[in-house]
Chain A
Amino acid sequence: MGKKFLRFEFLLLFAVFIIATCGLVYELVAGTLASYLLGDSVKQFSFIIGVYLFSMGIGSFFSKFFHKNLLNTFVEIEILVGLIGGLSSVVLFLLFESVEYFQFILYLLVFITGFLVGLEIPLLMNILKDKVEFRDLVSNVFTFDYIGALLASILFPLILVPKLGIMGTSLFFGMINVSIAIALCFLLKRELKNSYFLKVKAIFSFIILLSVFIFSDVILAYSEGKLYGENIIYTNSTPYQRIVLTHNKSDYRLYLNNNLQFSSADEYRYHEALVHPVMSIAKNVKHVLVLGGGDGLAVREILKYKDVEKITLVDLDQGMTKLFKTNKVLTDFNKESLNNKKVTVINTDAYIWAKSCKEKFDVAIIDFPDPSNYSLGKLYSLNFYQTIKTILQPDAAVVIQTTSPYFAPKSFWCINKTVMQVFPQVDAYHAYVPSFGEWGYTIAINGFGTTFNDVNRKAEGLKFYNYQFDRFNYFTNDMISNEIEINRLDNQILVRYFDEEWGKLQ
């Protein structure tokens, strides 16, 4: 009898330990997620902990209304905590989009978890009060409770999040929670009423958690992308793309559809290399065309030349250009370039626009996303460059962001070779951008009135580009690829190269 009772007590205390660990894990998950999305981690953690402890208090208060079947209630709560706590992060992840009511759901989940955990400890004490001496009971329950809390707070940042991720962690602990309930169902089946029904419930909940856990990577990929580890300070889904801005220490990063667009720490390298060679080589720079580049960072560089009279920027996504005209953090980066009176922003499809454009430009800066699909591939086709040629002045200069010659040499030289079919002078160059790696550009001149080594004008105060073009157009053997086809609309060979090359890296 004594031995059996010992097991009974030990089991329940172990359950306390697990509940405490899990409870704190859910709280930490909620706090982390809240600071991811809403920023200001001090405030978020503080509020979450406050609400959590408060709701535990409410739970404890309500525990006195439970009189019958305490053990059954205890197991049921155990299942419920596991299910709600475990799924909380999944729910929160999927609700990232709608920020206003995200907060409500967040605190509701924190409250429910806290409430349930708050119920459990008094409940347990009530179950054990007639079987153990009160003094021992209180000391044991709280000992286990606090050990669990310590364990959780150490494991969470050091092991759980790095290994399992936020969502995996909460689901994993949800499963632990529920498996304790399952274990209790089996081990205490004599003490429990209707243990069969409880078992079914517990196992069913476990299966739900397990299956979500298996899919958690996919959900994570969908909702969080590669942004893990950085604080998301802004998200917006436009009809064309998902814009995510993250902040980590002094570095802001912008992601479009989970692809890094720029890092504030080194974007000057990318944009100086994109803009200044072409601006210094072109015969004239009165009227500059920018295709893509809705972040206004290339425009910021162009505006450094006083003889620029007009800049036309064509970007498909109004959501993007609007954001970079109005968001304070972002206009600090582009120096309000899109609000400059020299700049005209046109939100339309660049290809269609170019087909019907009547103006002629002195410089064209083409900064489209990488050709990762057949739609984007059209913007790197022979016909596209032929179309661009029709809207350029003689001796106009063109630059095209051409992906990485190191990671994707075939893609890089495919674009270069395609451009060669259209323009009389074509060259390529590259620059090292730490957050991207080795990055490359194709540059062309629409005539013979100037050369790549000419410097017709300079801007002051550049951090990276030194107007020595011949220092940038040398390619080592590992960045060269031969036997490349020309990219046409009817073969879209570039998309295949790109997929083959970047596919290898994923």
Chain B
Amino acid sequence: MKNGENYSKSRRSFVKGIGASLLLIPFLQFCSDKIMHLLLRLSGTNHLLGHRLWIKDFPKPTSQIHIPYLIVGGGISGLSAARQFDKKGISNFLLIELEGHLGGNSSNGENKYSKYPLGAHYLPLPNFKDKELLQFLEEEKIILGYDTKGFPVFDELQLSFAPDERLFYKNNWQEGVVPKDGNSANQDLDFQRFFKLMDAFREGKGNDGKYLFDIPLHLSSEDTKIRNLDKMTMKEWFETNNFKAEPLFNYIDYCCKDDFGLGIEYVSAWAGIHYFAGRKQDASSDKKDSVLTWPEGNARLASHLKKYTHKKTLKNHLVYDVKVKNNKVVVQAFDDIKKVSVEIIANKVIMATPQFVNQYLIKERKEFTKEFHYTPWLLASLTVTDLADNFSFPLSWDNVIYDAKGLGYVYDQHQSLNQVQTKKVITYYHSFSSSDLKKSRKELYKKNKDYWKQFVFDDLKIAHPDIEDCTEEMEVFLLGHGMVSPAPGFIFGEAKRNASKSIENKIYFAHTDLSGISIFEEAFHHGINIVNQILDETALDS
């Protein structure tokens, strides 16, 4: 989530005013209709099909497709590559995707009350010098124009509405996600010092003249002093810098999990600081740390990109083999609907797939793939009749519970213009931050849906004691390999560099795991850059 350092204390009176109504709770009947039966569903990425890559029991291809350019993977990297092909006037490409829909981590679900994200759910305001992203946002009318000072004017309906964040801390909801009400003076000093340091990192530049931390990540400075931050965990950095405040520790832990899946104890300090310092907050004159969001989350952005793949997509197709043969790339894929295999012969292939998949498709990749770690995630979308709490701060877009297991929940109808919602839809997020992600992944799939249902309820009950009685429907969505997670040493490590290298100028790689952090901007630029690289090389060849 965004780092809300611009916090003020102006809301106290509001809280006080509303606090009176807290006393009313015993007299009001909340969940007016008692939920008799909870509709519970378990879903997730298609890991069963994916796991067939282990044994590769696929039929022999029965048909052939010839295409100059093939994109494997329909997440943001792949979709962005498709857009870039289109921009460059190339239309003879094909995109192939394992799932029945495009979008990857930017997918969504929908029920009769609201759409809801099944993955990434917001885009922070872009850095001002990220012209390609600004251009995309302008094309899609998310940026409506530029004001007299040259700042982009974002569409009011797509910026997160106020109030955008609240934190359940010391039994009260407070505005923003930074714990503040009730800290000791020393703790406040720690927060101030921390945010000052982050400001310096955000503004700072290395010997090479590059920002210390930038987006896309490869633009960041190569300065050794800064690179050394990648050698320790964020927790070690916290301690080395003599921070003591527990609320600050918790806050940073929350931020790291939010963007990387891994908490403060396991994540690289470089990545941890990048969260605060990578975004320059210079694309708006007032709401610097605002975000763009939609009920369906970043699936909205995916749907904008999808139009470039119209009639150029093979869905429900699992690619199981990719190799260079006779100066061409031969790709074999299994059609999970027709249960037949198909062979695609392409001049160039973009692997917009994660490396844990690529190791089964392409020879000699297992060794460095070991260095890639992916955090499992669990998302739960709940339809509730009411969200009773102590009314200390109104329901916000992002609702974080201090010291909870998960990352809190997003109110999916927050961007609605309606006055009232008969039912509310919220999406709960939980990342499995641990030292043994494989074990966590096994646990994720081994435990049944009732176990996870109770897990979600227990976590939300901290702030909403009667949530269980108010929930009508819950979809638990499991992501075994939720996102790449930058453990120390990975971002500036060998494995990442090796995995990024193209093969014989035929097979190219574009995915956020090659950045080490899984954010929209990285995927977006990977797609653009890889197409530019292919076209530049082709131009040189001819």
Q: Name A residues whose Cβ lies closer than 8 Å to a Cβ of B.
A: 94, 215, 218-219, 221-222, 239-240, 316, 349, 351-352, 355, 373-379, 381-383, 485, 488-493, 495-496, 499-500, 503, 506
Contacts and interface: CB of A to CB of B under 8 A. Distances in A.
A349 B418 contact: yes
Given A352-B418, A500-B13, A503-B14, A374 B162 contact: yes
A373 B28 CA distance: 20
A206 B14 CA distance: 35
B27 interface: yes
B24 A222 contact: yes
A382 B153 CA distance: 13
B394 A488 contact: no
Contacts of B23: 215, 218
Nearest to B13: A503
Nearest to A351: B417
A349 B287 contact: no
Interface string B186-214: 00000000000000000000000000000
Contact of A349 (B13, B163, B286, B419): B419
B14 A352 contact: no
Nearest to A494: B162
A239 B23 CA distance: 22
B419 A499 contact: no
B417 A378 contact: yes
Interface residues of B, number: 25
Contacts of B27: 94, 218-219, 222
Interface string B289-319: 0100000000000000000000000000000
Interface of B: 10, 13-14, 17, 20, 23-24, 27-28, 156-157, 159-164, 286-287, 290, 394, 417-420
A499 B393 CA distance: 13
B284 to A, nearest CB: 10
B420 A240 contact: yes
A350 to B, nearest CB: 8
B395 to A, nearest CB: 9
Most buried by A among B28, B157, B163, B417: B417
Nearest to A377: B162
Contact of B420 (A239, A381, A493): A239
Contacts of A349: 417-420
A355 B417 CA distance: 10
Contact of A490 (B17, B160, B417, B418): B160
A79 to B, nearest CB: 24
Contact of B157 (A489, A495, A500, A506): A489
B156 A373 contact: no
Given A355-B417, A383-B157, A503 B17 contact: yes
Contacts of B159: 488-490
B419 A490 contact: no
A496 B28 CA distance: 27
A499 B17 contact: yes
A133 to B, nearest CB: 52
A489 B162 contact: yes
A381 B419 CA distance: 13
Given A489-B159, A489-B162, A490-B160, A218 B24 contact: yes
Contacts of A495: 162
A240 B17 contact: no
Contacts of B20: 218, 221
A219 B26 CA distance: 10
